[in-house]
Structure formats: structure tokens, C-alpha cells
Structure 1
Amino acid sequence: MQKIVLDGIWELGICSNDTFRKNKINIVDLDSLCNSNITVIEGHVPGNYEIDLEKAGIIENPFYGKNLLKSLDREMDHLFYGKKFVLDKVINEKYILQFDGIDTIADIYLNGSLLAHTENMLRGYEFEVGEELLNKGDNELLVHIIPVSLEARKYDNPLFQNGLKYEMDSLNIRKSPYMYGWDIFPRMLSGGIWKSVRIFNKPDFRFIQSYLFVRNLNTDYSSAQLEFFYEVDLNEAPYHGFEIVLEGHCKESSFSMNWDVWSKAGHFTFDVENPLLWWPRRSGEPELYDVKVQLKKDGVCYAQKDFRFGIRTVELQKTSLTNENGKGEFCFWVNHKKTFILGTNWVPLDSLPSRGKERIEPSLKLVEDLDCNMIRCWGGGYYEDDYLYDRCDELGILVWQDFMQACGLYPENETFLRNFEEEVVWQVRRLRQHACLALWSGDNENDMSYGWLTNYRLDPNQNRNTRKIIPQVLRMNDYIREYLPSSPYMDETAYRYSTTDTYLPEQHLWGPRDYYKGDYYRNAFAHFASETGYHGCPSVESIKKFITPEGLWPYKDNGEWLLHASSPTMKKDETYAYRIELMANQIKVLFGEVPDNLEDFACMSQISQAEAKKYFIERFRIGKWRRTGIIWWNVIDGCPQFSDAVVDYYYNKKMAYYYIKRSQARTALIFDEPAGHNVQLYGVNDYGIDKDIKFKVTDVITDRIIYEGETSLPADSSVVIASVDASEHHAFFLLEWTCDGKKFKNHYVLWNPPFNKDLYMECIRKAGLQSV
């Protein structure tokens, strides 16, 4: 079989739409590209064209200073990617041409003939081509990428369609929403062939699709029943004599099954005795079976698939509503065991998506180091590379997977729904085999958008995208996995009861973003928070990498700061212009004033963020099982900016990173808030067995030991282990404990705002809490 990966260097032509129209440019191959008199440079696939423009010296770093403004002038650029390749044989041969990702609207030409038109960045495409379009020897591929801003103007926009100010065009275009400008990303529409391209002989025999899944797992784990589904292409060969041979191995455990082929598709079930189970982090080991499935006849293998498989079940138990007494539920059960979630939201790792893959491994190392057991792939981005899900399988990190719609009322016409349905089918079939994949979620905040945008005159349960298209695709392709139509989700009962999210068991806890211990955060009814966060300024070292020297200070009325807090312009009334002042106000809330220099501003902002995220996490942990999980926002930035992330784009960790790591220890000591003259100390144990600890509480300011003792923490629980005098309102408590021979630390500030910054930093130094 001849297989050619077409990644690497391509010819890249670029011209404005004005030039394209006035000069009546018609580029269908490399000759017409070279003779077009437009700019032609060396391009790269996978890639985004801004990267190539910068390499060619045509533009400066688009993320530095005010350069983000210049990207707005490129929104009407046409792109032309050209590549030559050689085939040894084409007579009586069929080839498959695969594009894993094109951003976004594209005409594809093969040897000067139009092969296909694509309209979706968020899925892959494959085309069967034969000798009528291919040459023996030299061949040419030309991809014309059309500006999405131009394409969006072709669509009708009924009153119903609505979204964020900068996102309206995105509703009709299946392109990553964040690229239009979000509160965590600058507007940079970009374009390019952002994933790999390859061409190969179409095999005579192949697996079109397959899926191995768990039908049933005994509650005592003594046996699991598995089901294997397959669809094969036998070309025109008769079925008789073909068989499916399936084998799986994990350490001392194995299974095998042979099945005669009598149809294009089939199912068979079998039992595995004493299976090794896949468990998420904090619950056990993520055991994976190496599986080989072959299509054989008379001992000869005609097709083969290899993959890794985890035996596990995941259920989501949820209610429509909850109340102040916690009469409700939103809880994940893995392998019949309640699982408390400590996770982080996962957003695109780079504004330019072709660069995201190289950032997956270092970003996952952060998630692993923080001991998170879930990431939520946010619906404003894109579906991640296979590598992410492979590694999450291996690391035991559950994945909550949004489909890519966010904060809007999306089209419901047949053309859009058909495009979206094809995307959903493609992604479901691509990802469903992964043990890490815990949940499909229809979108990010679209149910809430019905409230924001229509005052709930319209019912989100009539949304055809999430209540009809996705459920039907899942019914056909992955009915064993849980589905949440929106996050947060407002079902018919909730819609009839209230037009706010106050009584929903799963919420995004953003609120007023004032004092992090205020009533909103302290008294939220939510069982599960799938978003919550707080601003934290990057380090001065990092800021100097994306802000010019003249723009470093002051922060007020600073256009560069606004641009790097996601405002598309430097106008003070832009939708996202509030974010810099929000960060400053959060400093003022905690310290009583905003500092007059950048160094103190960054430090005090990081303290504010660190204490806030520590509080949010610990509030949920001491409430276990009234609370069932928190997915905080977010682990790392996808661009240089001022944001809620705890690690900046350059991998520099903010103070919050270290606080979260301590707060998420599997055994943890955590103070509640004072009640009267006392404050209760909780011991939280996320292990499945009891844990003995030895602990002490010290007031760092007076160097006085307030409490010490030994206790046993019950398995998978949160219990009060001590009550401490809180009448001394200026205490800074250092909590130290030993478990399984390892030493741990945490802290608790008993002060009320305003904090004394110098005293706080001295306490941190004395307690040895600067980093871990």
C-alpha cells in the first residue's frame, strides 16, 4: 500500500478579497498560483497562515503590544495552499484523500479539477479518488480557503439567532467560536489547513468502524459483559469463510472471541471474568487492555485494528432541581462507585489551533501534578487531537466533552442542522472508544442563553440542535454513554419552576466576582460547579513578553492591557473592557486599595486569585457528598493575556497553582468559616480506605500551636476533626499533617479584608508556602 503524508512545506498564496475580486483571480493549481501576482510564501501544514507570515517577516508577533489590532485587517484574506506529490500507480486503483482539519470554508482542487467543497473546521473529511483525477507520477493539490467573514454574509439571520457581540457570524459557520473573540481569547479569525493531510490506496478489505464497550459490570466486579460492534468493507468478496478475531490483554487478564461474518455489520457479546478495571485518578489504577481485532479468512489477515480499551462504567445521577437543603443530585458514578470530581476546564491551548497539539503534553502534566480526575473540554473551542484522549486514558483523567456550541441561539434550518449532524457523527465515532470519555454535553451555556437573550420567552427544550440532532446521533452511535443537553442544563421541570440557574444542581458559579467569600459563593445551592474562577495577573516577567515597555504601567486607560484582556479594540466601551478593572477591583476588595506599581499589582492579584480558588475548592470538598464536584476555570492560557488561568501562556505558574495543589491533596485539612467564636476543622479523605493522620495547627503570627492530635479519617468522606477558637481574628493558621509517611501543608487566613499585603507575604514565607 502506498501512503503519503502530505504534511510539511506547501506553497501558500495570500490576497485580500478586494484583490481577489478586482483581478478576477482563479487559482486551481500551482501554475495559476505562481502566475497570479499575489503574495506567495512558504507555508506549512499543519499550520495557520499567521505563523507563516511571521516566519516570512511579513508581520510581527501578532500577540505583542498592539499587533492584535492588525489581525482585524486580515479578516478578508483568501488563502491558497498548493502541494505536489508523486504516485507510483493509479491505473485500476482507488485512493483515499484525508484532511483531518481545514479552517474553514474551502474548495479543494486535485490536478486542476474541483474535487470538493468543505464548510466545517470541526471535523475531518475524506474523499475517494481514482484514475480519472490522478496521474501516475506528479500530482497537485490546491486548497482555496475562503474568508469566513465573507461566507457568513451569505446567510439569512432570523430574529431568533443571537449570541455574544463578536460571535454573531460564528453562529452560521462551523468554526471554533473562540476565534471570533471571547472573554478569554482575542479576536483572530485566522485560517489554514490546521491538521494533517494524507493520501493512500483504498484497501480492498477494511474496518469501516468498530466499537468495543461494556454492556454490564457486576457490582462485585467478578465479571463484565462486553459487546463488540463492527462494520467491514469486503469489497465484492462473499462473506463465507471470513471471521472477526478479537483479542485483548492487560497484565494477567485476557479475553478472546471469534465471530463468523455473515453481514456487512454485526454485534457479538462475551464475558470477561475477574476483569481489571479502568479507574479514574484518585480512585484506582486506569488499567487498559491492548486489543487487536482482525478480519481473517483461512488464517490470512485481511484487515486489522489495534486500540486500547478500559473496562469501566460511568453513570451520571442527576435531578432537575435542588434547593437550599440540598434536595437534589448531580453525581458521577464510576464502576458503581460515587466519584467526587476535582477537575479543571480545558480550553484551546493556543489562539492558533495548529499549535495546540504540541502544548497538550506539558499542559496535561500540570493537570496530573494537580491530581485532577476530570477535564472539561469547553464548547467554545475545538475537539482535541486524539493524543489528548489517548493520554487521558493512560492517566486516568475523565473527560467531559462539550460539543462545539457556546453562549448562543444557533440556527435550526436544515442546511445548518445537516452540517452539524455530520460533525457530531464524525466526532462521536472518533472518540467513543476512549475509556476516559465520561460525558457528552450538548453545549456551553446555550440553555442559559435562552434566558439572557429572550428572557425565557423561548424554551431551551425546543432547541433542535441539542434536543433532537445530538440525542439521535448518540442513540444511533453511542447510547451507552451519558448525555447532558447543555451546561448548565435546564430541563422542562426546571424551566417551569424558575427562570434562573439558582436551583439547578449543576451551575457555572461566576456571579458578581466580588469578595470570594461573599454570599453568592458561600451559599450557592449547586451540588456541582462545572465552571468557577477568579482573575489572576500574570507575573511581571510574563507581562513583559506581550506588553511593550511603554504599555506596562499604569493599567488604567491602557489600550494594550485591554487588547490582552480580549477586547478586539482599545475602545473603553467594548464588551470585554471590564476585565482589567474587574481584576483591579478584586485586589481592592481584598486589600482595600489598588497598588501604584506593576510589581505589587501582579503580586496582590495573584494572592486574591489564589485565596479565591482555594476557597471555592475547599468549600466543595468539606461539603462532600452534599457537594459532588468542582471543575474550576482553568489550568492554562491559550494566549498571552490577563485571565483566570492559574498557569500563563508561557507555563509560568501563578500563586493559585500551588494553593490548588495543596487544597486538592487526597487527604486534606480544611477550615470552614467561623461560626460564633469557633471555626471547625475538617479532615477530607478521598481514598477508598480509612487513613490515619497526625496533625497540628499553628498560628504563624504568634508561633503558637493552637491544636494538635491524631485521628482516623473515614474512607471517601469529609468529617469534622476539631473545633478551634476563632476569637483571635488576626490568626494565620498553618495546617500540617502526616499521612502514609508523607508530610502535607495547607493554610487558613482568619483575617477579614482588608489584608495587609506585607504581613500576608511574611506569613507565607514563615510557613514555607511560597511553592511546592
Structure 2
Amino acid sequence: MNKYYQLQLIAGILSMSLIFLTSCHKVNQNQKMNKQTISLLDHWEFKQVEKSEWMKAEVPGTVHTDLMNNGKIEDPYYRMNEREVQWIDKVDWEYKTAFNIEQSSLNNQHINLHFDGIDTYGIVYINDQKVGETDNMFREWDFDIKPFIKEGQNTLRVVLESPIQKGLVELEKHGYGLPAVNDQSEIGELGDKQVSIFTRKAGYHYGWDWGPRLVTSGIWRDVTVQLWDNNKIDNVLVHQNTNQEKADLTITTALDQPSKKALKVVAKIDGKVVNETTSEANATSISQQFTIENPELWWPANLGDPHLYQLEIELYEDAELLDIHKERIGLRTIKVVQKPDEDGNGKSFYFEVNGRPVFAKGANYIPNDLFLPRVSDSTYHHMIQSTLDANMNMLRVWGGGIYENDIFYDLCDEKGILVWQDFMFACSMYPGDKAFLESVKQEAIDNVKRLRNHASIALWCGNNEMEMAWAPGREDMGWGWKQQYTPVQRKDIWRDYEKVFHELLPEVVTEYTDDQFYWRSSPTGGDGEIAHYEHRSGDMHYWGVWHGEHPFSDFRKYIGRFMSEYGFQSFPEFKSVKKYTIPEDYDIESEVMASHQRSGIGNLRIKKYMEDHYQVPTDFEDFLYVGQLLQAESIYSAIQAHREKMPYCMGSLYWQLNDCWPVASWSSMDFYGEWKALQYFAKDVNKNTSLIVNHDDKKLSVRIASDIDIKDESELNIKLMNFEGKVLFDISKEIQPIEANMTAEVFSNKIGEIIKQSKSDEILLVTTLKNKEEVVDTDYHYFVLQKELSLPQPELEYTFTEKGNDLLVTVSSDQLVKNLFIEVNQEQAELTDNYFDVLPHQKVEVLISSRKNEKISKNNLRFKHLQQTMVEVVK
């Protein structure tokens, strides 16, 4: 046989072998997997333990929502109903269901009952035999039920003990109370007995300065029976060393138990096998290493594509498929850079993604409801899409709520939203006994393992505001907490703090993550420096505006390296307020409006700031509208001030994105998902490249803040006009290429040379930045406070164009229109813009659509602008 035919024969044999091997692998993949899961979410009933009436229940669910669904209580969010349901948390509740198990399933070596979450104190029974207890809302729970299970019908009962009664026992055991300033024990009819800190349960359930006190219980996440033989995957850790050229990955698959036999693990990326590894006998985990050349990196929003790869891990014993683990991963590096300043008086604090500094733009995020299981997937989609639409790239999951559901992090991964993840401790001090520490440790391990592989996780933070509130070693700082205790108690309380936040939590993060960053408290200066308004390291919470009654101008005075909290309140719009009130409540000082304002002095604080900046309307609906403008203008100015200080300041996260019930609060989206004025203003000010215009008695300045490089020359146009549209000053200039993460002054002039003889209450400055004829940003700058503007009464024209179910609204006016608000009296409407100014003879287009895919009708629109709320200085 000649050499040619020999080679052809060999090639044919190899080809047939490859087909055979591939076919064998497909057979293995298509066979039935060893592990089985039975969902237990149907046919639940519940009752109060002391009573006999069983009622229909929902799982996942809560006691409060089940009582509502059965007509036993009214909606606690409506008017003053919250006060009528405080009895619920002081009694025990029982839930039960039944499920069937076939004889063949009983032959499995392992049969576990798994709870993704029980809130909080549960006693679990299978067929009336106790199988275990729970005492931490944030943990997952597994119980071996093989000894208790039988063929046919089985019963599952969960007795939920009162978190208040349990808390009172722990308080008595501790001997003295601990600081818990947001625990509304008086509303809960407990007097001064604050028990929230003794229970590993969402702190905001006990009340907060934006939330009610509704201490619910329930089986709040999924329940399953898991059956398997031999072994299964417990968890997977992805360790990566990634750059533009390659990603070196180490995948560690932890097994449920040591394996007597060797097991094989197959790793796939986007469906392609990248590694097969066989373990030694008695292994508890299996590691695999492989490289992805020229990886597609994961980037934060507006800086690149947040690309995700599909990772699959298959576990085999011989040819038997035991388990499959699937998740999406992003290839990226995230670092927190703390570089000493040249003068040695501070350190930088910023996030570096894939070697690129990132200015963090975003907000703090709280749970979307007190009754967590009723938060729908569509709500999560709306929240994260709204974050992206507002040109944000980071959310801070705040420590008084929950470690969020998987869908939250999945969506952040998809949209490129970085996550600052607090552990669930906030604004309190906590005990440090052995049982408490062990519970916290397991809680931390559960959640770190669940969340660590998400591309969006940027930082783990120990707690919210506890270090700042206690201020160890500084009698002149803090919230006055430590002064309430004896020297011995002080020492014990701070020692317990250090056990959790200086030892336990950082150890968990170190052991169970891919070298992710741990930050002990927010805010802190780090290295023992307590955060305050003058510190030059770490992160800052600035509450001089609002709590300290500082003027808005102080947002430019007090700026840290990373602004992780600051805020200003507003009410929901009138459409939302009408859902939880009746006409007799339409007064900000009414009992109902005061109850739906948990900041105490909040409503009057809004009015005080409004008096400083706006004419205060006497009409209730107008007051709500102007209050939203007040909030939006204040936070807009804060974000501008922070971006103006790049790269000294590299983060601006306002308090807060969302609400957990209908309330006056610091949120930019109300409980019903409506965008407040602030959300629209944030969308504008958070653009990648933004104009910042300021003036004082002597000078007018125009700066450009940019998160990205603009390599080509741009054009800047500055135009002064009056409210009728007459141009009084007009200048254009070329702008040299713009560098990322910098703010540069591009124009300045004496204020007198700009305004000249014009009346400052009748003019505005319109500044426009263009790049290759594309408008990058436009800024409208006024020279007096809103209440001092001599605004005209404009003639507005509206045209409406139907685009399928959407409606395009075109607005024009003969004179300036200030803050035009389009109210859409349909549920779940979305607008491309709102609360905007309309220049004289300008046409503005707004597209209105429905998240419910309903047709938007022009008959459901109402229009309001600032001039309509003013009684003075309106021409």
C-alpha cells in the first residue's frame, strides 16, 4: 500500500474513533441524572398555633400576606392600617403541606429537605417527627429526612415561633439593651425593648426612617426535597487571572461528601468541553485549570459589553452522570485601589475594572417590599433596567435588608451593574456570644458561596454606619451610643464588634472567594481612621444636607474619596399618593401623611428647604410636584460636585434608589415603580460625558467631566438667552481631546461680561457640547433661585403620534417652560424624559410606552409646569 493510501486509512480510522467517542459522550449527557428535586410549593395551609382554623397559604410567602389573602387583615400599607396588625409578630404560626414519595425514590442513599430561606425561627416536622430547627432568616437549611420519610403521602409542618418573643428572651439573657436607633419598638407596643439586634432577621422589618414596622414570618424562599445517590456538587468556586490576552481559570468543585471512588469532572464553556479531570479517592473537592485565549471581557455599563460565558460542570462516577452545575460567569478583574496621596494625608478609593479606573455612579438599594416573596421578577427587571437607563453602573445592597435573590445579581451581571454588597448589619450594635457568632459565620458562608462568582460583585462590606456611630476611642465623635454604657460594657460591646467585623467576616471572604475585597464598615477611613466630613481616605456618608440642615451648596464643600451615601427626601407623585390615602389625608401634616414619613421631622424639613429654594404651593398636589423638583435639583447638584472632583472623588451613590412601601423618602423611584424627578435628573447628570456650569459673584465657569476618552476635538457653544428666546450672548470654541476620569475647565469669564445689563431673573445660559455634530450634553444654567425666577406664562402646544401601543408626545412653546411634568394615569408607563425645561420655540419629543404592553392613550395624560404653582414673579 502506498504512503498516500496509508495516510487516508489512518485518517479514516481516527475520524471514526472521534465519532464513536463523541457519540458515547452524548449518550452519557442524555442519560437520566442521578440527582432529583421535588418542589414543595403547592397545597399549603396555615393557622395561628393557638387556634384551630386552617387557611390557604402561599409558599414562598409571609404570615401577613396570607392573612390579607384570607381577608383576616386589611392592607397594612393603606392609611394607618399598620398600627392594627402589630399583634401578628407576638404569636406563633404553623404551616403544613403534604407530598407523595414513590417507593423507588426511597431507595436513594440521601433524601434531604432543603429550605432556601425560613423567616426566621422554625421548628420542622416530617410526619409529626421533629427533624430540626432554624434561627436565621439569611441562611439556607438542609435536614436529613430519610429516616422519617415513607412511601405515599408525607406531611411537612413548620411551626414559626414569634421573633418578638424570641428576641425578648435574648434581650433578658444579654442583661442590657444595645443601640438600635431604627427599631420602632414603641409602634410595636414593646416600649423601649428593642429586640431586632438579637435576631438574624432583616433589620428593616422592625422599622426604619423610611419604612414601617411589620415584623413578619414565613417560608420566604423555595422548599424542595432533594434525592441522590453517591455524591453531588455542593458548590463551585471560579478563580480567575484575567487580562486582555488570556483568562487563566481555576474551577474548584466542592463535593457534598468525600467520595470513596474516583470521580470525573467535565468543565464546559458555552457548551464546549474545556477540561476533564478525575479525582483521587476520598477527595472532598476537585480542581481544574484551563485557559481562554483572547477572552471577551465583562465591563461595567456604558464602558463596554458585560459579556457572560456559560459555565457547566458535570460530575460523573464511572459513566453515571451524578450532577450538573450551571452558571454564567464574567471574565474580569476588579480591584479597590487605595494609593497614598503625594502629601501623605490621605488615600485614593476607587474601583479598577480590567485595569481601568471607574467612576462609580449609582444609588443605594433596599428591599422592594416588607413582604419579600411578592416582589415579582418583572419588578426586579424594572429596577435594574431603570438603573441602567439612568446611566448608573453601581448599586449598593444596603446592610439592613437582605442578601438579594439570585435574579437581582443575574440582572446586574447582564446589565453591567457593579454591586457593593453589605453584610446584613446596619445602624446597631450586636451581641457576640458563641451561638450568635456561629450563626453569623454560617450565614456569611452560605451567601458568599452563593454570590461570589457573579461578575457584578465588586466589594463585600461588613456593615452600615456602625463604626462611625460608635466611634471607638473618640469621645467627640459618634452618635452618642457609647456614652450610655459603663466602661466594662463599652469594652464588651466593642470586643463583640471586632469579633464579627475585624475577624469573622474578613476570614470568610478570604477563605471562600477569589481574593475579593472586604471593607469593614461603611463609611470608614480605613487603617483605624473614623469617617467624618473632613477625612481624606475611604468612603463617606454625607448627611449635612438634610439631617444637618446644611445648604445645598455644601455638597460642593464636603466631598470624600468615594461618596457612598447622601440624600434628600421627596413625596411620591399624586397618582401614587392617592393609592394609600383618601382626600381628607391630602395635607402633609395629616396623620396618614405623617405616618407614611418615618424621618420624624421629614415633612417639615422638606417644607423648610422648599421655602429656601421655591415658592411653597398651598395646593397639596402642587406641593408634591415641587417637592420632587427640590429633591432632584439637590441631588443633581451633589452628583455634579462629586464628578467635578474627579479623580480625587471616584464614586457617587445617593440614598436611595427604591422604596419598600408607599412613603415620603429619599428614593428616586417610588414603591409603585414610578420614576420621580430625581431619576430623570440622574439619567442626565450620569451621562458618560457631562457639562458642569457654575457661577459666583465674580466668575462663570464651564467644566467637562468625562468617564471616557474623547479623542477628537469637540465644539462647545455657550448661549445666553432670555425667557422669550432672544439670544444675548453667543460664543463657540473648539475643545481639545478629553481624558477619561478627569474634569477640566474649558471656559471661564467674568460674570459681568456674560450677563452685562440683563436681569439675572429673566435669563438662562444654554451650554452645548458636540462631537462630530452629535450632541454629547446640554446644560441649562439659571442665575437665581427658582423662587426668584421671573417666569412667563407660556402657550404650550402638544401633538400626539401613535407608534403601535406607544405614544410620541411633541411639546413646543413660545416662551420658556420650567420643569414640564407629564403625568400618565396608566399603570407601569415609561417615559424617555420628564420634568424637563422647554426652551422658547424648541420642540421636545417624549416617547411614552407601557411595561404591560398596553396602548398609551393621550386622554390619560396631564401636564404641569412650575409656572402653574407660582403666585409671584410670574410675568
Aligned partner (choices 549, 552, 559) of residue 591 of structure 2:
559
Give the match for residue 128 of structure 1.
Answer: 144
Matched, 1:766 2:787: no
One-letter amino acid of the structure 1 residue matched with residue 44 of structure 2: W
Aligned partner (choices 689, 692, 707) of residue 670 of structure 1:
692
One-letter amino acid of the structure 1 residue matched with residue 198 of structure 2: N
Give the match for residue 65 of structure 1.
Answer: 79
Aligned partner (choices 95, 104, 107) of residue 111 of structure 2:
95
Please, what TM-score do these two structures have when normalized by structure 1? Answer: 0.88
Structure 1 residues without counterparts, runs of 5 or longer = 21-35, 567-575
Aligned partner (choices 583, 590, 615) of residue 606 of structure 2:
583
Give the match for residue 223 of structure 2.
Answer: 197
The 8 Å contact of residues 632 and 677 in structure 2, kept in 1 or not, is answered as yes
One-letter amino acid of the structure 2 residue matched with residue 222 of structure 1: E
Please, what TM-score do these two structures have when normalized by structure 2? Answer: 0.78
Residue 526 (structure 1) shift: 0.4
Aligned partner (choices 547, 554, 557) of residue 523 of structure 1:
557
Give the match for residue 374 of structure 2.
Answer: 355
Residue 724 (structure 1) shift: 4.7
1:439/1:357 Cα in 2 relative to 1: closer, same or farther (>3 Å)? farther
Aligned partner (choices 383, 386, 389) of residue 406 of structure 2:
386
The 8 Å contact of residues 194 and 353 in structure 1, kept in 2 or not, is answered as yes
Secondary structure of the residue aligned to 1:311 is coil
The 8 Å contact of residues 335 and 351 in structure 2, kept in 1 or not, is answered as yes
1:290/1:756 Cα in 2 relative to 1: closer, same or farther (>3 Å)? same
Q: How big is each residue's C-alpha offset from its partner over 1:34-56, in whole Å with a ceiling of 9 and x where there is no partner?
A: xx52x422110111222222222
Residue 525 (structure 1) shift: 3.8
Residue 172 (structure 1) shift: 0.6
Residue 580 (structure 1) shift: 1.5
Q: Partners of 1:463 and 1:709 in 2: how far apart?
A: 57
Secondary structure of the residue aligned to 1:80 is strand
Alignment of 1:746-761 (within 5 A): 746-752=779-785, 754-756=787-789
Aligned partner (choices 708, 721, 733) of residue 732 of structure 2:
708
One-letter amino acid of the structure 2 residue matched with residue 546 of structure 1: Y
Residue 500 (structure 1) shift: 7.0
The 8 Å contact of residues 322 and 503 in structure 1, kept in 2 or not, is answered as no
The 8 Å contact of residues 208 and 231 in structure 1, kept in 2 or not, is answered as yes
Q: Partners of 1:506 and 1:182 in 2: how far apart?
A: 23
Give the match for residue 288 of structure 1.
Answer: 308
Aligned partner (choices 627, 631, 653) of residue 609 of structure 1:
631
Aligned partner (choices 482, 487, 497) of residue 454 of structure 1:
482
Alignment of 1:154-165 (within 5 A): 154-155=169-170, 156-159=173-176, 161-164=178-181
Q: Partners of 1:245 and 1:378 in 2: how far apart?
A: 37
Q: How big is each residue's C-alpha offset from its partner over 1:559-593, in whole Å with a ceiling of 9 and x where there is no partner?
A: 11121113xxxxxxxxx3211111222211212x5
Alignment of 1:412-427 (within 5 A): 412-427=432-447
One-letter amino acid of the structure 1 residue matched with residue 330 of structure 2: G
Give the match for residue 166 of structure 1.
Answer: 183
Give the match for residue 661 of structure 1.
Answer: 683
The 8 Å contact of residues 545 and 552 in structure 2, kept in 1 or not, is answered as no
Q: Partners of 1:616 and 1:544 in 2: how far apart?
A: 31
Residue 322 (structure 1) shift: 11
1:724/1:347 Cα in 2 relative to 1: closer, same or farther (>3 Å)? farther
Alignment of 1:248-647 (within 5 A): 248-249=269-270, 256-262=274-280, 263-296=283-316, 300-318=320-338, 327-358=346-377, 359-450=379-470, 451-452=478-479, 453-454=481-482, 463-478=498-513, 480-495=515-530, 502-513=535-546, 518=552, 520-553=554-587, 555-556=588-589, 558-566=590-598, 576-591=599-614, 594-647=616-669
Q: Partners of 2:374 and 2:291 in 1: how far apart?
A: 43
Of the structure 1 ranges 454-463 and 151-160, higher mean CA displacement relative to structure 2 is found in 454-463
Give the match for residue 140 of structure 1.
Answer: 155
Q: Partners of 2:205 and 2:434 in 1: how far apart?
A: 25
Aligned partner (choices 723, 731, 741) of residue 748 of structure 2:
723
One-letter amino acid of the structure 2 residue matched with residue 528 of structure 1: F
Q: How big is each residue's C-alpha offset from its partner over 1:62-101, in whole Å with a ceiling of 9 and x where there is no partner?
A: 1111111112232313211111111112543331211111
1:428/1:740 Cα in 2 relative to 1: closer, same or farther (>3 Å)? farther
Give the match for residue 861 of structure 2.
Answer: none
Secondary structure of the residue aligned to 1:463 is helix
Give the match for residue 33 of structure 1.
Answer: none
Of the structure 1 ranges 57-66 and 517-526, higher mean CA displacement relative to structure 2 is found in 517-526
Q: Partners of 2:534 and 2:207 in 1: how far apart?
A: 25
Q: Partners of 2:544 and 2:341 in 1: how far apart?
A: 19
Residue 483 (structure 1) shift: 0.5
Secondary structure of the residue aligned to 2:58 is strand
One-letter amino acid of the structure 2 residue matched with residue 103 of structure 1: D
1:290/1:236 Cα in 2 relative to 1: closer, same or farther (>3 Å)? closer
Q: Partners of 1:479 and 1:651 in 2: how far apart?
A: 35
Residue 758 (structure 1) shift: 5.5
Of the structure 1 ranges 170-179 and 47-56, higher mean CA displacement relative to structure 2 is found in 47-56
Secondary structure of the residue aligned to 1:736 is strand
Secondary structure of the residue aligned to 1:171 is helix
Q: Partners of 1:770 and 1:529 in 2: how far apart?
A: 34
Q: Partners of 2:788 and 2:62 in 1: how far apart?
A: 46
Calculate percent identity across the aligned residue pairs: 25
RMSD: 2.7
Secondary structure of the residue aligned to 1:139 is strand
Q: How big is each residue's C-alpha offset from its partner over 1:587-620, in whole Å with a ceiling of 9 and x where there is no partner?
A: 11212x5332212211221111111111111111
Of the structure 1 ranges 272-281 and 593-602, higher mean CA displacement relative to structure 2 is found in 593-602
Secondary structure of the residue aligned to 2:838 is helix
Aligned partner (choices 693, 715, 724) of residue 694 of structure 1:
715
Residue 400 (structure 1) shift: 0.5
Of the structure 1 ranges 751-760 and 331-340, higher mean CA displacement relative to structure 2 is found in 751-760
One-letter amino acid of the structure 2 residue matched with residue 615 of structure 1: S
1:499/1:61 Cα in 2 relative to 1: closer, same or farther (>3 Å)? closer
Give the match for residue 12 of structure 1.
Answer: 46
Instruction: Tell me which structure has the larger Cα radius of gyration.
Output: 2
Q: How big is each residue's C-alpha offset from its partner over 1:447-496, in whole Å with a ceiling of 9 and x where there is no partner?
A: 1121221169868686211111101112221151000011012545315x
Secondary structure of the residue aligned to 1:362 is helix
One-letter amino acid of the structure 2 residue matched with residue 391 of structure 1: L
Q: Partners of 1:355 and 1:322 in 2: how far apart?
A: 52
Residue 306 (structure 1) shift: 1.6
Give the match for residue 765 of structure 2.
Answer: 733
Secondary structure of the residue aligned to 2:86 is helix
The 8 Å contact of residues 182 and 427 in structure 2, kept in 1 or not, is answered as no
The 8 Å contact of residues 80 and 592 in structure 2, kept in 1 or not, is answered as yes
1:476/1:352 Cα in 2 relative to 1: closer, same or farther (>3 Å)? same
Give the match for residue 32 of structure 1.
Answer: none
Residue 295 (structure 1) shift: 2.3
Give the match for residue 704 of structure 2.
Answer: 683
One-letter amino acid of the structure 1 residue matched with residue 366 of structure 2: V
Q: Partners of 2:195 and 2:441 in 1: how far apart?
A: 19
Q: How big is each residue's C-alpha offset from its partner over 1:288-340, in whole Å with a ceiling of 9 and x where there is no partner?
A: 111122223555533221211111111112369999x9843111111111111
